[in-house]
């Protein structure tokens, strides 16, 4: 790939006077070499994307060609007022195509998929993008699209640059919660679009919780029939399949979370699954976490997770394990008897038993799994291959201390503790998200390598389809850059503010209702219609 980066660039044509090309890039690539602030004209009528190499005709790529043509060539009414021609072209050169070469014909998308790419745009070489996988090519096409600008006359230009890029972390996720409030499918699709514009690659779908069970199981239809808010607020398996396919064509994996044994009140339709709570030796009519001592529990979970593995093809499933209230367990006479028979009074023995049984079930269907940090904090010893989500960050639960403990024990970790975007405050508060570095904790280099990435999380207590996108974006963009870009190159807040403003305006042009990052200000080329 380095053969493309040839010396002696020829005379370039059009200068961007207001900003340099790096001011438009988000997340910032690992290596950007734009020799000067010059650009080449693009003829909208003749320009084309051309697939090359063994993977040049894969569906994600051919779909991306269509998608980015729509994105790039908009009406002159959306002209970029910050792009001005500095002089007439001294040559007849214009960029007529971007050749996208994909070395591998393998379209599988896994935790280890290579997302690197190299992009060259020069007069000598034209436009050439090369990637090992089709998903690396998608990341490169996003970068290319950010280099294309439009002047007030409607003419498009692309900046001459040499870019070599790859993600800093393999896991770059967003978490959405569709249980507290149902999120319509069309909003989820737009969210996936926004993820692609920011080079995220994992959607952590917290699909059910205490409040509702909107997932439609065909084996256990009563779960959604009785657990959803109503039958207009469910996701059928066809809905899920369409979402997963759409996400894959954007290079995004979908990992579902069915939280157990707590956060499971909406599973009530599965009879005898939840633990009856007692007061004064009598059932009090309430129910606690999933009952861990009944064999029927594991018979059900084996069938349920087998169906989940068929519907969600990703190698991973998120098993939960957080915030388990053991009070109900200890009130139940059958569970107290079980504890006595096992010579313990510690309810965490039930957690160890439940987690062991559940992970055996998931192992048997060939899946790997995530759990929340609570499982480890309870003293449960998860399987060594378990990936652990770190989410707590308050007095007594500093996430940096948790990272030290978990990585010292040899576990892979995904961090979300400093990126809970459902919390909101007035003013310019985004710096706190940008300051978080997943590897900024006391530990060896080997320990820090076990932090495989992070997640921008938005829980649904006060979020639904009306505000999900505006609440998330562009604040999640900060997480995206932190997980993709070199930390040392992205500490300048002045530069970040400029780039994030341009990126927010770009997302608005692309139909993502991203909120302002600071005030006052405006996007000169964007008209936001009144409600």
User: If you average pLDDT over residues 164-175, what whole number do you get?
Assistant: 98
- What is the per-residue pLDDT for 37? 62
Please tell me the distance from the alpha carbon of residue 488 to that of residue 479, in angstroms, as a whole number. 15
Please tell me the distance from the alpha carbon of residue 425 to that of residue 158, in angstroms, as a whole number. 38
Closest listed residue to residue 321, CA positions, set 264, 366, 275, 367: 264
User: How far apart, in Å, are the Cα atoms of 365 and each of 145, 304, 388, 454?
Assistant: 41, 11, 20, 26
Burial readout 294-306 (b: 16 or more C-beta within 10 A, e: otherwise): beebeebbbebbb
Which domains, and CATH codes, for the chain? 2-165 (3.30.379.10)
User: How far apart, in Å, are the Cα atoms of 466 and each of 113, 185, 212, 528?
Assistant: 34, 12, 19, 16
Do 173 and 370 contact (CB within 8 A), yes or no?
no
| Average pLDDT value over all residues in the chain | 90
User: If you average pLDDT over residues 272-297, what whole number do you get?
Assistant: 96
Q: Which residues pair with 415 in a beta bridge?
A: 390, 454
- What is the per-residue pLDDT for 125? 79
pTM value is 0.93
The tokens describing 216, both together, are 């439609």
Q: Any idea how long the chain is?
A: 531
Closest listed residue to residue 213, CA positions, set 247, 172, 245, 260: 260
Closest listed residue to residue 279, CA positions, set 327, 326, 324, 325: 327
Report CA torsion sign: 61, 62, 67, 68: positive
Please tell me the distance from the alpha carbon of residue 397 to that of residue 412, in angstroms, as a whole number. 19
pLDDT of 377 higher than 50: yes
User: If you average pLDDT over residues 6-13, what whole number do you get?
Assistant: 25
- What is the per-residue pLDDT for 527? 59
Please tell me the distance from the alpha carbon of residue 408 to that of residue 162, in angstroms, as a whole number. 40
pLDDT of 75 higher than 70: no
Q: Which 3 state secondary structure label does DSSP give 435?
A: helix
Do 482 and 200 contact (CB within 8 A), yes or no?
no
227-277 confidence digits (pLDDT tens): 999 999 999 999 999 999 999 999 999 999 999 999 999 999 999 999 999
pLDDT of 136 higher than 60: yes
Closest listed residue to residue 200, CA positions, set 158, 236, 157, 170: 170
Q: Is 245 tagged catalytic? A: no
The tokens describing 343, both together, are 């010579």
- What is the per-residue pLDDT for 7? 27
Do 144 and 161 contact (CB within 8 A), yes or no?
no
Please tell me the distance from the alpha carbon of residue 376 to that of residue 434, in angstroms, as a whole number. 28
pLDDT of 199 higher than 50: yes
**Sheet bearing 31-33, strands edge to edge:** 31-33, 161-165, 117-122, 126-131, 97-102, 48-52
Catalytic residue among 245, 323, 345, 518: 323
């Amino acid at each position: 790939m380095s053969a493309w980066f040839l010396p002696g660039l020829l005379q370039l044509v059009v200068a961007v006077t207001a900003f340099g090309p790096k001011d438009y890039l988000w997340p910032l690539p690992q290596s950007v070499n734009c020799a000067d602030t010059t650009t080449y004209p693009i003829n909208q009528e003749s320009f084309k994307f051309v697939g090359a190499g063994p993977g040049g005709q894969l569906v994600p790529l051919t779909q991306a060609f269509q998608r980015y043509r729509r994105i790039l060539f908009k009406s002159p009414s959306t002209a970029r007022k910050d792009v001005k021609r500095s002089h007439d072209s001294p040559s007849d050169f214009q960029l007529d195509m971007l050749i996208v070469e994909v070395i591998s014909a393998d379209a599988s998308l896994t935790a280890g998929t290579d997302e690197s790419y190299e992009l060259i745009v020069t007069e000598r070489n034209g436009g050439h993008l090369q990637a090992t996988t089709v998903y690396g090519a998608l990341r490169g096409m996003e970068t290319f699209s950010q280099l294309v600008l439009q002047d007030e006359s409607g003419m498009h230009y692309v900046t001459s640059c040499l870019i070599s890029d790859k993600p800093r972390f393999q896991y770059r996720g967003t978490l959405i919660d569709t249980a507290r409030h149902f999120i319509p499918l069309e909003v989820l699709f737009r969210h996936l679009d926004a993820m692609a514009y920011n080079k995220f690659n994992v959607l952590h779908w917290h699909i059910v919780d205490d409040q509702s069970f909107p997932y439609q199981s065909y084996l256990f239809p009563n779960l959604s029939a009785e657990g959803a808010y109503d039958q207009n607020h469910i996701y059928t398996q066809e809905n899920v399949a369409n979402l997963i396919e759409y996400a894959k064509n954007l290079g995004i994996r979908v990992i579902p979370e069915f939280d157990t044994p707590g956060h499971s009140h909406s599973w009530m339709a599965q009879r005898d699954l939840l633990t009856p709570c007692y007061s004064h030796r009598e059932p009090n009519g309430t129910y606690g976490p999933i009952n861990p001592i009944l064999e029927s529990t594991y018979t059900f979970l084996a069938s349920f997770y087998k169906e989940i593995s068929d519907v969600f093809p990703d190698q991973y499933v998120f098993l939960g394990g957080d915030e388990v209230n053991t009070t109900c367990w200890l009130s139940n006479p059958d569970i107290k008897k079980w504890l006595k028979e096992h010579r313990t009074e510690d309810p965490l023995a039930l957690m160890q038993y439940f987690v062991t049984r559940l992970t055996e079930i998931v192992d048997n269907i060939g899946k790997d799994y995530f759990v929340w940090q609570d499982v480890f904090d309870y003293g449960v010893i998860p399987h060594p291959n378990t990936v652990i989500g770190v989410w707590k960050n308050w007095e007594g639960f500093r996430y940096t201390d948790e990272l030290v403990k978990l990585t010292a024990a040899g576990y892979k970790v995904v961090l979300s503790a400093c990126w809970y975007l459902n919390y909101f405050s007035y003013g310019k508060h985004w710096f706190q998200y940008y300051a978080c570095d997943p590897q900024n904790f006391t530990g060896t280099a080997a320990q820090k390598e076990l932090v495989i990435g992070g997640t921008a999380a938005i829980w649904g207590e006060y979020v639904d389809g009306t505000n999900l996108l505006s609440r998330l974006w562009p604040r999640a963009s900060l997480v995206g850059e932190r997980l993709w870009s070199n930390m040392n190159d992205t500490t300048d807040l002045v530069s970040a503010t400029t780039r994030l403003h341009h990126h927010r305006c770009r997302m608005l042009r692309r139909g993502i209702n991203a909120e302002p990052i600071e005030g006052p200000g405006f996007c000169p080329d964007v008209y936001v219609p009144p409600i």
